[in-house]
Every structure is written in structure tokens, then in C-alpha cells.
Amino acid sequence: MANLPKDFIGLDALQIVANEVSKEIVMGPGYSDAEEMDRLGIDIITGVQFKRTFHLFIRKGGTTRRKDVHREINSEAGFLKERTLVSKLSWDKFPGNIDDFCETVFGTDAQGQFPLSSQAVEAILKDYADNLAANLWFGDISLDNGEDNVPARDQAMALYDGFHTCIKHDIEDGLISEANGNLVPCEAITAPTDNNDSAPYDIFIAWHAKWDERLRKVPTRVYMNEATAMNIAAGYANKFHGNFRVEYNQGDNFKLPGLSKVTICPIANFGEGDRMYATIDKNFVYGVDTLSNEQYVSVRLGSDRDHRDLSFQIQSIQGAGIKSFLKSALCVSDGTLVAPEYVAGDYDNTMLVITLAKANASDAGSIDATVKVNNTTYTAPVETSVNQILSIEATDGTNYKFVSWSNGSKTKKIQLTATGMNMGLTAFFKKQG
């Protein structure tokens, strides 16, 4: 057993703190983006263990007739369609150290908890929640086939199928289509060309008019990216020259006069493109498992590197889905969406990138010099760890000689301390003769 400091709160106490925090963390975006989920009217359901089945009864219309005893009638009511929200098990491990979880001179609070330790654990585990939230729209389990060569970003975006992926699958299966009335083409909504251009607003109104009338009669939310929302609002202002005001409510949501049942919901991580979704409230669902023993946070003491190290392991089950694809509940525009850069935490890479450049742009020929990182010739970005000492050395070529580094040093061999985040360094060389 490690030589534990007297002020270490203990594994048992730390596990209690982790358990308390994990109850919220395993909710993913339901915790980290709770206000956003509420703003978008997304239904958060708990107790989902790997899948949740919704039963959608699809009714056949046009079966009622004027009564005539001489005519037999045997109408078809419709059929039952199962909709399944598939959830997946995710996990992560986080390192720590005893020194980060020691009782301070401030002692404990009235409940006997350790406030500073709670903050430290929450900071560790909130990263996990952020990673879950990043999959909410563009998550795609098919990105990771389990092979070792799967790019790190693809692995990070394969925790569960996000809403865009669910829509894509429904289109591929023929459930969302123009024939079914839930895929309605819409002209591209771009920025107004001048202060008299109302086209973005006019195009949106024309698209709204093509929705199923039952969808237009009930409160709906329209999901789109921020640029599209701003273009619509600008087009509206140009058309009415400020005579009517856009009604903003619940954050960035807004309503247009004359469309009292329609709430436009701009979404920062919706992607780049002009696709939009109009849907009834609580139709988009995020499900988590808060009941089974499959979700937990465990704490372990000691490692081969340092017996005072702590390891946090967390895992949870979550998934996303759409209850109803029927035109009375959902309308999808055409167009495309491109996923944004991976957004979670403050960084997702720890690479050292070195560039070889000419000190004089006019110098001819390729640079025949080399750079070594920790005695290995640099050929591709090098993964680093926080506070790692990096020995970097430039070697002259036949035609090009070292001049300086981009950090100002003119010494061929330098040492850098890795920040734990991405780092960039340029070696400048000058052609001889």
C-alpha cells in the first residue's frame, strides 16, 4: 500500500464523492447541456438499457363512407410500427493523484463532504459528459468498426447514433421521403443580398406552407444552424422594415409574427449547411440508463508509474432516437449538413507538429535537412503527454543549413516541455551558396 498522506480523504470518501457526481455526469448532454436540451424540447428518458421500443400506430385514412346498407364496408385501421432507440455502452479512464484529493485547511462542509475534492472529481468527469454531448447530432456508430487503425476522431464520434444519423437511416429505409410527405424540398436559404432582399424569409414561409396541415396546427420547433436562422430573421426585417418585431424567447429561440405556433431554434453544433427539421415537442429523444450496474464510476489507487496515482473509470449507456417520422410530427428539408470540428473539452489532440520551411522564400529546390524528436527522425506529428521533455534537433543537409526555430532560438538542439495540448514548431533553413 502506498504511503498515504494524513490529509488524504481516503478511497472510500473519494468513491462517495465520485458516486454523487456521477449521477449527473452519466446523463451526458442532459447534464452538461441541460438548458440546451430544454430549449430544443428534446425528451430525456431514463432507465434505457441498450434499447427502448416506441410503438407508433400508423392509421389509414379515407376509409369512412356514407352509410348505405346495400354496400359492404370492411375498413383497414392501419398497422403498428416499432421505433427503436438503440443505446450503447461507453467508457473512459482518467488519471489523477492523491495530492489532488487531500483535505485542506478549510476542512469539510456541514454535510461532511470535501468541497475541493468534489470540484476536482467533477472537473474530471465533466469531460466525459462533454464527449457524450458531442455525439448528440453527428454521432455515428458505424465510424468505428473496432479495428486498430480507426482515426481517433472517428472513435470519439461513434459512441451512439446522433439525430442526424437517425434521420439519414430513416431516409435510407424509405420512411422519410417526398412520397411520404415528410421530406419537403426547400430552396437554399442564404444571406440577403441587400437591405431590400426578403428572399430568406420568403423561402422559409414557402417551405412552411408545404408542411402537412396537421403539423402546422400544433406547436413545432424548427432546428437549423445559426447562419440559416439569422438569414431568415434578416429577410423578415427587410420585408417588413421593422414594422413587426421578432419575438425572442428561451435563449436564442424566436418566433416570427404570423407563425405563432412555430419556434425557430438555432443550434451552434448543428453543422454547416441548409437542412432543417420541423418537429413536434418531445419527438427527438435522448435516452440514458440510470438504473443498472452497467453505469458507474470506480476509483483505484496506484500505478506502475506512481503508487500515489489514482485512476477513475467511468462508463454509461446512452442513445438518441426519433419517436415519429410521420408527416404529422416531422418535416425534413432537403439540403446537406457538414459536421463541425470535434467540440468537447478544451483540446482533443496532444500532437507536436514540426514544419521545415525556407528562410528565404525565393530559394530554389527542396529542403534536404532533417529534424529529430527524441533522437527519432521526424516524419509525422508526434503524440506527447503533459510536461514531457522533448529533445528536438535540426540537422543540416547538403544544400540547406539551419538558421533558426520559430520560437526565436538559433541553437540546433533545443528542449521543450510539452503542454499537453497541440504544439507547433517551425525549423527555418537557408540554401547554401
| CA gap 133, 60 in Å, rounded | 38
Closest CA to 20 of 114, 104, 134, 98: 114
The CATH number that applies at residue 373 is 2.60.40
Average pLDDT (328-353) is 82
Last residue of a domain, one of 280, 299, 334: 280
Report whether pLDDT(55) > 80. Answer: no
Same domain, 146 and 194: no
Same domain, 306 and 364: no
Q: What angle do CA 137, 190, 136 make, to 5 degrees?
A: 5
Name the residue with higher pLDDT: 264 or 124. Answer: 264
Same domain, 31 and 124: yes
Same domain, 184 and 152: no
> Are the C-beta atoms of 204 and 243 separated by less than 8 Å?
no
Residue count (the chain): 433
Name the residue with higher pLDDT: 300 or 63. Answer: 300
Predicted confidence band at 368 (pLDDT cuts at 50, 70, 90)?
very high
Q: How confident is the model at residue 105, as a pLDDT?
A: 43
Same domain, 141 and 230: no
Average pLDDT (398-409) is 94
Name the residue with higher pLDDT: 347 or 383. Answer: 383
Report whether pLDDT(110) > 50. Answer: no
Highest average pLDDT, of 115-124, 283-292, 354-363, comes from: 354-363
Predicted confidence band at 227 (pLDDT cuts at 50, 70, 90)?
very high
Asked if the structure places residue 6 within a domain, the reply is: no
Q: For the whole model, what pTM was predicted? A: 0.74
Residue 114 to residues 7, 25, 203: CA-CA distances in angstroms?
11, 18, 56
CB atoms within 10 A of CB 87: 23
Name the residue with higher pLDDT: 129 or 413. Answer: 413
Q: How confident is the model at residue 278, as a pLDDT?
A: 98
Q: How confident is the model at residue 106, as a pLDDT?
A: 44
Same domain, 34 and 100: yes
Name the residue with higher pLDDT: 286 or 76. Answer: 286
Per-residue pLDDT of 163-194, as tens digits, reads: 999 999 999 999 999 999 999 999 999 999 99
Which helix (H) or strand (E) covers residue 371, if one does?
Answer: strand 370-373
Same domain, 27 and 104: yes
> Are the C-beta atoms of 136 and 29 separated by less than 8 Å?
yes
Highest average pLDDT, of 166-180, 240-254, 380-394, comes from: 166-180
- The set of cell numbers assigned to 149 is 487503425
Per-residue pLDDT of 211-225, as tens digits, reads: 999 999 999 999 999
Per-residue pLDDT of 287-326, as tens digits, reads: 887 666 666 677 777 766 667 777 778 888 889 999 999 9
Last residue of a domain, one of 262, 292, 317: 317
* Number of independent structural domains in the chain: 3
The strand pairing partners of 301, in sequence order, are: 310
Residue 357 to residues 134, 244, 368, 400, 414: CA-CA distances in angstroms?
36, 57, 11, 10, 17
Asked if the structure places residue 70 within a domain, the reply is: no
Query: Which domain does 150 fall in, by range?
Result: 11-58+80-164+284-317
Same domain, 192 and 273: yes
Asked if the structure places residue 415 within a domain, the reply is: yes
Highest average pLDDT, of 68-77, 94-103, 116-125, 336-345, comes from: 336-345
Asked if the structure places residue 50 within a domain, the reply is: yes
The CATH number that applies at residue 155 is 3.30.2400
Q: Are strands 296-301 and 309-322 parallel, antiparallel or unpaired?
A: antiparallel
Asked if the structure places residue 295 within a domain, the reply is: yes
Asked if the structure places residue 323 within a domain, the reply is: no
Same domain, 99 and 143: yes
Same domain, 218 and 108: no
Report whether pLDDT(108) > 70. Answer: no
Average pLDDT (130-151) is 90
Same domain, 16 and 93: yes
In sequence order, what are the residues at sequence separation of 6 or more whose Cβ sits closer than 8 angstroms to the Cβ of residue 254?
Answer: 229, 233, 246, 247, 248, 263, 264
Same domain, 211 and 271: yes
Asked if the structure places residue 46 within a domain, the reply is: yes
Asked if the structure places residue 338 within a domain, the reply is: no
Average pLDDT (323-344) is 87
Average pLDDT (326-355) is 83
Report whether pLDDT(104) > 70. Answer: no
